[in-house]
Structure 1
Amino acid sequence: MSEPHGTQESATYDVVVLGAGPVGQNVADRARAAGLSVAVVERELVGGECSYWACIPSKALLRPVIAVADARRVDGARQAVTGRLDTDGVFARRNRYVADWDDSGQARRVKSIGADLYRGQGRLDGPRRVTVTRDDGVRRHLTARHAVAVATGSRPVLPDIPGIAEARPWTNRHGTDSGTVPARLAIVGGGGVGVEMATLWQGLGSQVTLLVRRRLLPRMEAFAGELVAHGLAEAGVDVRIGVRVTALRRPDPAGPVTLTVDDGSELEADEVLFATGRTPGTDDIGLDTVGLTPGSWLDVDTTCLVRGVNGDWLYALGDVNHRALLTHQGKYQARTAGDAIGARAAGLPLDDGPWGDHATTADQHAVPQVFFTDPEAGAVGLTAGQAERAGYRVRAVDLDFDAAQGANLYADGYQGHARLVVDLDREILLGVTFVGPGVSELLHSATVAVAGEVPLKRLRHAVACFPTVSEIWLFLLAACRREHEQTRTGS
């Protein structure tokens, strides 16, 4: 899709958005709903990392793997699963969901909300000004009356270790757009990308070795990483915890790669994937022209205004503000900031107090995250350790899922674990973690409970349907009540 018909060398809009991924599209949509004119600038594919190399393709690829694993847990169904996954069919499914990396449909969506799309590298050029440089060198100069919103995302970080350039490692992009299955795949990193890629490629037929320095899923409760590690090992992944890669060798570009780890041993693989962190996509967007450091994470207030910039005009949304590198959380920020931009433009008062219409309060208190491993791991809010470090008096209430009959009907011999983090002073939930097959569908109920600060006394009246996996709520809340009574009576 080309630029707006008749575009001149310069144009003025109420709002200019850098980045046309889900976050940029959401802030553009909310600004348009407020009656503001909007320009959206994108240097790659409209739809961003999430649509083509992250959330969408990874989940499209993972679903067949998990579906087969689920079937094998149900007697009568497992006997019907007699072969391996059809990798061509799995890759074709992924290709459909990413529209074969054709962004024309998403470009039409940008147009449908009434925004103008500019393709090229967008850079700030002083306050409220953006220069867009197309691939052919043509430049367009845009001025924003009210706001510039930075939604340029993040990209993977590769560690500085000997031989990494020679090894030509995969990142999340190669991990989700590859159309071939490596016989042996080494994955470095135990965060969300690492464990999902291990689940995916082992399921597709690779022999996967997962190399982790500390523990899996370090931002979640420790038991989440332990159960996911156990599930990966049962699936055939060689999980090695407490190791560090010190060097790589790949003398033949078409040959295998050799990894050296810190105990001096070596591992040979056909490909190596690094999932070792992200860096903000802010190195080439002109931050220096407004007094900020290129390549830095952008510090923002509750409305996502960037601190350290004069005037209420520069916003940073999604990965670039480093609050939560999750698409759904970035979209939440974008909706909130878009409403704040509209209110400021209209001269209306801001509702930016805790849980207000123009405040991203959930960024601090109720961020949900889920990893589509086998078993799945989902959490919202604070872990018990995080809550204690924040000064709360808390109690962790733990329960295995085998207490719920619905879980055992979902999967024979269902294995999973749940934890509630209870604020003892207010008798509300500060955090919830679930690990087990299908628990991603339980996470929103937990998010409502945490974000809504629903008192436990009231939450007990939310009746779970029988027989469903969500019955675990009944048993968790009963355990909370028993522990509360024991504490009260001193028994």
Structure 2
Amino acid sequence: MSEVFDAVVVGAGPGGEVAVSRLAAGGLRTALVEKELIGGECGYYGCIPSKTLLRGPEAQAQAERVAGLSRPALDWPALRDYRDVMVRHHDDSRQVEEYRKNGVEVVKGSARFVGRDPWTLAVGDRVLAAEHVVLATGSQPVRPDIPGLDRVPVWTNREATSLREIPGRAALIGGGPVAVELGHFLARMGCEVTLLVRGERLLAREDPRLGEEAARLLSADGATVLTGRQARSARPSGSGGAVLELDDGRELTVDVVVLGTGRRPGTAGLGLEDVGVPVDVRGALPVDDRCRAAPGLWAVGDVTGRPAFTHLAKYHARVAADTILGKRRVRNDAVHPRVVFTEPEIAAVGMTPAEAERAGIDAAEATVDLAAALARPWTFDTEPHGRLSLLADRERRVLVGAWAVAPMAGEFIHYAVLAIRAAVPIDVLLDDIAQFPTYSEGFLNALEQLEL
């Protein structure tokens, strides 16, 4: 016999947690289904552990460039132990108990659709039925088709963010944010790092100058970045590591191969095809502007095929949950921040100049050397480096893109995020009063240089 709920949320990552909390607070009888840990990939194997691990080497490097300070020691066991605290030692029992105290039925196991009208899910020996089902099943890492890769030590983001010891040599396959951040961390921890990038530059989805900045930072850390290169095959080395044969004939011997080759929407095994719900060629579940895939069926985050960002999943969850609760929300996720947590940070939002040109926008761009224009970089750092760039639509006189490379760029990029999302007129932005001395002053400098 089915257990009946108003709403069932499948997947307890950040998107699922936002959805179930909002629905329960709205008075709905809710169930939360999770096959692993409450908190999901981000909380245990992604954003939280990676940013925790990056903070130690970041502070160490920054301290060297602060007047009156010397380079502090980095205690790897202490950093590792704090990482374990931040991921709750992979124990979600407290979270399960909190949800149950708040009236949410937590069901551990893999869900599969077995009916619709109402939507019905089998989870182990339990059957759950609900008018509304929210899918927040995330994504899984893509494993490249390299002969022999299954015979050598390989890490995905899970193993890389759970590491106990720093490897001596690592090959990172990929050139996106995950590969850049992990390469940055490992190199700063003393690992000999080589990045194999199939394309011609790092961060291929961003302005080419950001790829150049990422390559400069990695090179300064001692990492080697090989663009336009792929591993053709892999075989075990005599020391328990891996030998990669590259497509130019060279061989690369490492202790571990780290994958940063993208992610695939997590729809496999849900049985969507059995209830007449199609997915696209990538396995993503298309949704409308309310995050609805079918009447009563909703999807949020990575599973929709939108960029795999935690903040997008949480936004989608707010849209879907509010719509279920009868509030009018429309998904508008074209403009969102994108941050790479290097040191300094790399942040972007909106269009690149190439994208604006393809869209037929008559665009103006201004790029500012923050150290040359502002006081704050010099009060922050004795060897400051940073740039900020703005892209504007001349006809509409609004910003359509921005990027920055600077300390805390992931914080102050939100000035541009809001300006672009709300289409704030440039004349209004030019009348802003920025706190002195801050990096945010760079926006006014760049705005004044736009040739509109």
What CA distance in whole angstroms lies between the structure 2 residues aligned with 1:72 and 1:453? 40
- 1:400 pairs with 2:390: no
Which residue of structure 2 aligns with residue 389 of structure 1? 358
Tell me, yes or no, if the aligned pair for 2:278 and 2:285 is still in contact at 8 Å. no
Which residue of structure 2 aligns with residue 5 of structure 1? none
Per-residue Cα deviation, 1:116-152 (whole angstroms, up to 9, x for no partner): 1100111111213333434xxxx1111112x111100
1:68-467 alignment, distance < 5 Å: 68-77=60-69, 80-81=70-71, 83=73, 85-127=74-116, 128-134=118-124, 139-145=125-131, 147-214=132-199, 215-250=201-236, 255-293=240-278, 296-306=283-293, 309=294, 312-343=295-326, 351=328, 358-361=329-332, 363-364=333-334, 366-402=335-371, 403-467=373-437
What CA distance in whole angstroms lies between the structure 1 residues aligned with 2:27 and 2:168? 54
- 1:48 pairs with 2:35: no
Residue 65 of structure 1, aligned match among 57, 62, 86: 57
What CA distance in whole angstroms lies between the structure 2 residues aligned with 1:82 and 1:54? 27
Aligned-pair distance for 1:281? 1.1
Aligned-pair distance for 1:81? 1.1
What CA distance in whole angstroms lies between the structure 1 residues aligned with 2:98 and 2:290? 25
Per-residue Cα deviation, 1:50-89 (whole angstroms, up to 9, x for no partner): 0000000000101111111111222322xx2154x21101
Aligned-pair distance for 1:381? 1.5
Q: Describe the shift of the 1:16–1:473 C-alpha distance in structure 2 as closer, same or farther (beyond 3 A).
A: same
Per-residue Cα deviation, 1:443-463 (whole angstroms, up to 9, x for no partner): 222211111211111112221
What CA distance in whole angstroms lies between the structure 2 residues aligned with 1:222 and 1:471? 24
Q: Describe the shift of the 1:314–1:82 C-alpha distance in structure 2 as closer, same or farther (beyond 3 A).
A: closer
Tell me, yes or no, if the aligned pair for 1:124 and 1:131 is still in contact at 8 Å. yes
Moved more, 328-337 or 458-467: 458-467
Per-residue Cα deviation, 1:318-348 (whole angstroms, up to 9, x for no partner): 00001121001110110111000111xxxxx
Aligned-pair distance for 1:166? 0.5
Aligned-pair distance for 1:113? 4.0
Tell me, yes or no, if the aligned pair for 2:237 and 2:243 is still in contact at 8 Å. no
**Structure 2: which amino acid aligns with 1:206?**
C
Question: Structure 1, unaligned stretches of length 5 or more?
Answer: 1-8, 344-349, 352-357, 485-491
Which residue of structure 2 aligns with residue 489 of structure 1? none
- 1:38 pairs with 2:30: yes
What CA distance in whole angstroms lies between the structure 1 residues aligned with 2:301 and 2:129? 23
Matched position secondary structure for 1:458:
helix
What CA distance in whole angstroms lies between the structure 2 residues aligned with 1:144 and 1:405? 58
Matched position secondary structure for 1:15:
strand
What CA distance in whole angstroms lies between the structure 2 residues aligned with 1:33 and 1:133? 24
Tell me, yes or no, if the aligned pair for 1:227 and 1:375 is still in contact at 8 Å. no
**Structure 2: which amino acid aligns with 1:133?**
V
What CA distance in whole angstroms lies between the structure 1 residues aligned with 2:413 and 2:104? 34
What CA distance in whole angstroms lies between the structure 2 residues aligned with 1:169 and 1:292? 34
Aligned-pair distance for 1:31? 1.6
**Structure 1: which amino acid aligns with 2:164?**
G
Tell me, yes or no, if the aligned pair for 2:61 and 2:71 is still in contact at 8 Å. no
Aligned-pair distance for 1:440? 1.4
Tell me, yes or no, if the aligned pair for 1:410 and 1:469 is still in contact at 8 Å. no
Per-residue Cα deviation, 1:16-73 (whole angstroms, up to 9, x for no partner): 1110111111111222232211111000111100000000000010111111111122
Question: Structure 2, unaligned stretches of length 5 or more?
Answer: none
Aligned-pair distance for 1:210? 1.2
TM-score norm. by structure 2 comes to 0.95
What CA distance in whole angstroms lies between the structure 2 residues aligned with 1:335 and 1:110? 18
**Structure 2: which amino acid aligns with 1:331?**
K
What CA distance in whole angstroms lies between the structure 2 residues aligned with 1:454 and 1:291? 43
What CA distance in whole angstroms lies between the structure 2 residues aligned with 1:319 and 1:39? 21
Matched position secondary structure for 2:186:
helix
What CA distance in whole angstroms lies between the structure 2 residues aligned with 1:15 and 1:387? 41
**Structure 2: which amino acid aligns with 1:359?**
V
Aligned residues: CA RMSD: 1.6
TM-score norm. by structure 1 comes to 0.88
Matched position secondary structure for 2:442:
helix
Tell me, yes or no, if the aligned pair for 1:70 and 1:437 is still in contact at 8 Å. no
What CA distance in whole angstroms lies between the structure 2 residues aligned with 1:290 and 1:384? 43
Tell me, yes or no, if the aligned pair for 1:248 and 1:258 is still in contact at 8 Å. yes
Per-residue Cα deviation, 1:85-117 (whole angstroms, up to 9, x for no partner): 211011011101001111123223433543211
What CA distance in whole angstroms lies between the structure 1 residues aligned with 2:358 and 2:94? 46
Which residue of structure 2 aligns with residue 4 of structure 1? none
What CA distance in whole angstroms lies between the structure 1 residues aligned with 2:93 and 2:359? 46
Count of residues in Structure 1 that have an aligned counterpart in Structure 2 = 447
**Structure 2: which amino acid aligns with 1:86?**
D
What CA distance in whole angstroms lies between the structure 2 residues aligned with 1:423 and 1:278? 33
Q: Describe the shift of the 1:133–1:181 C-alpha distance in structure 2 as closer, same or farther (beyond 3 A).
A: same
What CA distance in whole angstroms lies between the structure 2 residues aligned with 1:452 and 1:113? 36
**Structure 2: which amino acid aligns with 1:242?**
G
What CA distance in whole angstroms lies between the structure 2 residues aligned with 1:391 and 1:106? 49
Q: Percent identity?
A: 40
Aligned-pair distance for 1:298? 0.6
Tell me, yes or no, if the aligned pair for 2:154 and 2:259 is still in contact at 8 Å. yes
**Structure 2: which amino acid aligns with 1:418?**
L
